[in-house]
Structure 1
């Protein structure tokens, strides 16, 4: 008698959801449980029971989520999409310590193809194949049971009620430990996969648009330049926004390596204790140009209001944004702007990126094209990771061996730091060349201010890149370098006491200081100006600002 041919099982949608939720809890939450252990959440005699309670609760809550998403027609495509996406999420959480909160989802949505291309590499394949493709192949072979809609609704309601009860019992059985853990380490919820990215994506999708349609709320309509007699030499402020450069590797801050030899020869004013508004560009860039700032941070309010550049424009100070990055995050909306990130320069540009040296030529051209008081913003590519080795020319390598891969897991920490420091030195050389360009323009009084948007983790405590939730972001991600240079003419025309400013530079500062400091330096009077945040005010004549 022939043996019966084996057939794939027939499952109800709830049964498939149960299997999938157990799989997600076991295979996709290793980073979560590792973080729980690291924070001492499973220590003590009851540690094992807390682990069981967390596992059961995670599985039950994901079962509830899948029951909302699954029907007989949607179950398979939704499950395959979740398996593949979760496999990618596991890779980035494990290898880069990424937390999928709303800010991270926004970063992902706003990442341009060039940045994304550096993160999509062969290192993704093991996680994608093992955790995504293989279980997806099994899932699509499962046959789903047909039911009448009445029976399906009854079973679905009963299943969800049971899952809610199981989740509640699991949490209550170890309530003291679980509640204490989640209360003291709220960031852990952003590691529970796939619920983390699904909930965060839903919040981003349902929140008010980051850039409301229509005109933004005006800021500084009453702004005007004061104390500037007719016939005085024009002033040019070049505001250089760095990218992913942390204070800890800045030579002028006392780093063991002299990563800033060119600036050291110029002897600019170096601020040694500067805090960024965010741990990622999407937060920091709009924040540093806003009058709202970190102290009163409100993302919607910042995005809906005009920026520092608009205030300067209202006052009659010409503004221009020159970008070698992925855009200005709406800061320069309505302002003259130019992107040089894909310029056609055989030396400085490759197929998808230009080195920051391209900004030197762009500044020189801009100075020739415009006149009067101006503020020119240069947005650098800087140290944008993980491909640090692509941020400087081959002949600028000072520290070897360097990591020559975007897959940081394939490099030693020494190689990663070497590549990062090489990129820091290249930024140093570009800044020195920008200063030289300003010095060569004898017809203007000029100044340059450089500040990075946020820092970077280079493997400390297993954390790489940036973008951790601000509440738990390490100093490496939120402490940034800031330097200032002033021509003799600018110092004289503003009456700026440089030694006084060097004393100010030893005190704590932040991105919140930028808005009022720029207005003060350019003698722009506006209701939004706050004297207490103007870094220059203590070092200017009493009537100068």
Structure 2
């Protein structure tokens, strides 16, 4: 290579080295970008979160009434400082100039969404709620996308996230970068400690009395909850489920009886307070009231959301011995029934069986089939009855069918019922509950219960016309719903603070004459005791007793039919 060319090459290479070490200068940086240190941007984002994303937290503190005057002002200043310091400390530990923009952009959009749901519906983003969010499908998520939500996320999330791309992070030497980051982290730690210490007495008292309050602090709430969920999922056993009731076996039916068919209807989001059979001021169960059903009027759910309640109600542990890891890692009631010789089938118009029917027969109607009961988004629950008897007739023995309803799933209650059942008006015709009055929301919700009443009546009619089986139905909702009481909507509050509107649910049983006589059940006796408190914990043992499955795991005290039987039909 000629000397002249070598010299030119050295100059270009030297210039490249100089640029890579010092970063692009203001002369090389696009004019529309502003040079800011990463630490300053992190601090700005932390301050932004503290003042814009925690409205629900501050509102709950205000409503608690424990602070006033100078104490209240000191609390606000101290906690705000602590929030800024802790979040800036967290971001400062994990972020660098290469990943800062995308990570902060995601956090801004996610936090805006979290803040919207917390402020609008009083949603607490604890691990249980995060599991619900993770397992939400596109159909369910689409109903939550209202113009109000989109506007909030655009203003408080998307636009600030876009502004990050107006920032340029200048490169500095490693020594200087480490020194600056160390000083920044130390300063944020100091600010957080001062903020906590200045309000420690009030803050510790508040958190001790309302432990769930921390799940309103964004974005730390969902960051911590996601971390816990991922950690729990990683620790979850990957092998076979723990065997439950290993000695389960069917008793021999009396020669005069037919094969048993039990339909268990898992309701969705129906609360006891609006259930007509419970004495609600409106008759929301007109068809059931004309049938010979047994209504249990004091029933407590295992959880305030589907992700908790459904696995729990089909477990041996139940709420009284609640341990999520044990429940998801153990066999459900359906696995016990199958091993004992009872055929099971789960038909689903929701987001799955939550592990209850893993490895067993499962049919989903989440993707609408070609039926007059379906539109392009969802199906009426009655679609699960179509062709059901053909499936049952293929099995000559005892059968348990679970029908998992879409029911009263909100906030788009108006989509859950046809025009013919639009009895209570004016009803809220929007998924944006903020655009409706509370009475309009209640009207739409009650209309949706009329649809459940119609569905259950159709189910009983089908079972009563069955000439090949002794039949029965048990209906129980998975959890309730808040309709604006205390400015709380929907469901999913942490169980420790969940109101009765979210955990008190309806439960109904119906037995054909053949099932009642074959099992020796005195339905009048059961009806006379139906006002006594029971819970989801009773389902496991009541089904075992009704299907005459014998096992040492069976507890007659938790069987709602036990104690009302003749000797011939005594429980297993």
Q: Which residue of structure 2 aligns with residue 54 of structure 1? A: 79
Q: Does the 8 Å contact 1:220/1:314 carry over to 2?
A: no
Q: Following superposition, which runs of at least 4 residues in structure 1 exceed 6 angstroms of deviation?
A: none
Larger CA Rg, structure 1 vs 2: 2
Aligned partners of 2:422 and 2:117: how far apart in 1?
28
Aligned partners of 2:478 and 2:260: how far apart in 1?
25
SS of 2:545's partner is: helix
Aligned partners of 2:369 and 2:321: how far apart in 1?
42
Q: Does the 8 Å contact 1:222/1:314 carry over to 2?
A: no
Question: Tell me, which stretches of 5 or more residues in structure 2 are unaligned?
Answer: 1-29
Q: Does the 8 Å contact 2:250/2:340 carry over to 1?
A: yes
Q: Which residue among 401, 406, 410 is the counterpart of 2:426?
A: 401
Q: Which residue of structure 2 aligns with residue 249 of structure 1? A: 274
Aligned partners of 1:275 and 1:119: how far apart in 2?
27
Q: For 1:186-229, what per-residue CA distance to the aligned partner results, in whole angstroms no more than 9, with x for missing partners? A: 11111111111111111111223586423111122211112524
Q: Does the 8 Å contact 2:392/2:399 carry over to 1?
A: no
Task: Establish whether residue 367 from structure 1 lines up as the match of residue 392 from structure 2.
Answer: yes
Task: Establish whether residue 159 from structure 1 lines up as the match of residue 214 from structure 2.
Answer: no
Aligned partners of 2:475 and 2:32: how far apart in 1?
66
Aligned partners of 2:289 and 2:182: how far apart in 1?
69
Q: Which residue among 475, 486, 503 is the counterpart of 1:461?
A: 486
Q: Which residue of structure 1 aligns with residue 498 of structure 2? A: 473
Aligned partners of 1:173 and 1:341: how far apart in 2?
52
Q: Which residue of structure 1 aligns with residue 4 of structure 2? A: none
Task: Kindly report which structure 2 residues correspond to 1:520-535, keeping only aligned pairs within 5 A, or say none.
Answer: 520-535=545-560
Q: Which residue among 250, 253, 258 is the counterpart of 1:228?
A: 253
SS of 1:538's partner is: coil
Q: Which residue of structure 2 aligns with residue 92 of structure 1? A: 117
Of the structure 1 ranges 319-328 and 139-148, higher mean CA displacement relative to structure 2 is found in: 139-148
Aligned partners of 1:362 and 1:385: how far apart in 2?
28
RMSD: 1.7
Q: Which residue of structure 2 aligns with residue 193 of structure 1? A: 218
Aligned partners of 2:59 and 2:455: how far apart in 1?
42
Q: Which residue among 493, 502, 514 is the counterpart of 2:539?
A: 514
Q: Does the 8 Å contact 2:56/2:118 carry over to 1?
A: yes
* Structure 1 residues 6 and 25: alpha-carbon distance in aligned structure 2, compared to 1, 3 A threshold: same
Deviation at 1:344, TM superposition (A): 2.6
Q: Which residue of structure 1 aligns with residue 372 of structure 2? A: 347
Deviation at 1:421, TM superposition (A): 0.6
Aligned partners of 1:208 and 1:28: how far apart in 2?
28
Aligned partners of 1:276 and 1:266: how far apart in 2?
25
Q: Which residue among 75, 80, 83 is the counterpart of 2:100?
A: 75
Q: Does the 8 Å contact 1:453/1:480 carry over to 2?
A: yes
- How many residue pairs get aligned? The number is 541
Of the structure 1 ranges 178-187 and 43-52, higher mean CA displacement relative to structure 2 is found in: 43-52
Task: Establish whether residue 310 from structure 1 lines up as the match of residue 355 from structure 2.
Answer: no
Q: Does the 8 Å contact 1:90/1:127 carry over to 2?
A: no
Q: For 1:408-437, what per-residue CA distance to the aligned partner results, in whole angstroms no more than 9, with x for missing partners? A: 111111111111111101100110111010
Q: Does the 8 Å contact 1:289/1:308 carry over to 2?
A: yes
Of the structure 1 ranges 150-159 and 303-312, higher mean CA displacement relative to structure 2 is found in: 150-159
Q: Does the 8 Å contact 1:208/1:300 carry over to 2?
A: no
Q: Which residue of structure 2 aligns with residue 541 of structure 1? A: 566
Aligned partners of 2:82 and 2:135: how far apart in 1?
33
Task: Kindly report which structure 2 residues correspond to 1:272-351, keeping only aligned pairs within 5 A, or say none.
Answer: 272-351=297-376
Q: Does the 8 Å contact 1:261/1:428 carry over to 2?
A: yes
Of the structure 1 ranges 335-344 and 160-169, higher mean CA displacement relative to structure 2 is found in: 335-344
* Structure 1 residues 210 and 391: alpha-carbon distance in aligned structure 2, compared to 1, 3 A threshold: farther
* Structure 1 residues 362 and 69: alpha-carbon distance in aligned structure 2, compared to 1, 3 A threshold: farther
Q: Which residue among 263, 269, 282 is the counterpart of 1:238?
A: 263
Q: Does the 8 Å contact 1:210/1:303 carry over to 2?
A: no
* Structure 1 residues 253 and 210: alpha-carbon distance in aligned structure 2, compared to 1, 3 A threshold: farther
* Structure 1 residues 144 and 20: alpha-carbon distance in aligned structure 2, compared to 1, 3 A threshold: same
SS of 2:315's partner is: coil
SS of 2:161's partner is: helix
Deviation at 1:337, TM superposition (A): 1.5
Aligned partners of 2:168 and 2:31: how far apart in 1?
13
Task: Establish whether residue 439 from structure 1 lines up as the match of residue 464 from structure 2.
Answer: yes
Aligned partners of 1:173 and 1:412: how far apart in 2?
42
* Structure 1 residues 82 and 341: alpha-carbon distance in aligned structure 2, compared to 1, 3 A threshold: closer
Deviation at 1:231, TM superposition (A): 6.3
Q: Which residue of structure 1 aligns with residue 55 of structure 2? A: 30
SS of 1:46's partner is: helix
